[in-house]
Amino acid sequence: MNAGAGGFAGAPVTKVILASSISSSVILQAAHGLQRRAPSPYLHFLSQSFVFRHPGELACGTLLLYYFRLLERQRGSAKHGACVVSTLAINYALQSVVSAALSTVLPSGPYGLIFANFVPFVLDIPPAQNFTLFGLPMTDKASTPHQSVTPFKNSCAIPTYICTQKLMYAHLGSL
């Protein structure tokens, strides 16, 4: 499941979100048996919106978050950061209303981020080709943002970009 250049070239916000989500999930899953005090509201907000409580959910959610870095590459880090912050806020408000109304505890994890990213993925990204496979409508959305990866002044972006360019030239030379 890889769209565009591999790694986090041009996607620093996604890198921070993924690193915090994975590390805090692993630590809290390892410390599951420990007795804890009830967390303060700020900590509850953070844990509710970043920490997965099951390894299976962690795997799926991490894959999807990593995949949706193509959205950040398309609209830029500043805009995507604003989108992430406001989406987290709206999602936390909605989740607390729903869990209070139905008196259940909703599972924690970045569900809000992941499923909010599905909306612009379906609506905004233009496909270059539409085709059908076994009667199902399919597009080639996944490969669209190849062109939009630009070198940022990022510590990891520039080596990745140079490597990609070298690979491209190597391919051209072999032709």
**Interface contacts to another protein, rule CB under 8 A:** 1, 3, 12-13, 16, 54, 56-57, 60-61, 63-64, 67, 77-79, 81-83, 85-87, 90-91, 94-95, 98, 102, 104-107, 109, 111-121, 123, 129, 131, 133, 138-143, 152-155
CB of 35 to another protein, least distance (A): 23
CB of 47 to another protein, least distance (A): 14
Q: Cβ(41)–Cβ(93) under 8 Å?
A: no
Q: Cβ(150)–Cβ(143) under 8 Å?
A: no
Nearer to another protein, 35 or 128 (CB): 128
Interhelix angle 77-102/111-123, nearest 10 degrees: 120
- How many whole angstroms separate alpha carbon 107 and alpha carbon 5? 32
- How many whole angstroms separate alpha carbon 65 and alpha carbon 18? 7
Nearer to another protein, 79 or 166 (CB): 79
CB of 50 to another protein, least distance (A): 13
Nearer to another protein, 37 or 134 (CB): 134
CB of 166 to another protein, least distance (A): 23
CB of 7 to another protein, least distance (A): 15
Nearer to another protein, 141 or 163 (CB): 141
First-to-last alpha carbon distance for the chain, in angstroms, is: 27
Residues 6+ apart with CB under 8 A from 70: 3, 4, 125, 144, 145
Residue 65 to residues 14, 59, 115, Cα–Cα distance (Å) = 7, 10, 10
Nearer to another protein, 39 or 55 (CB): 55
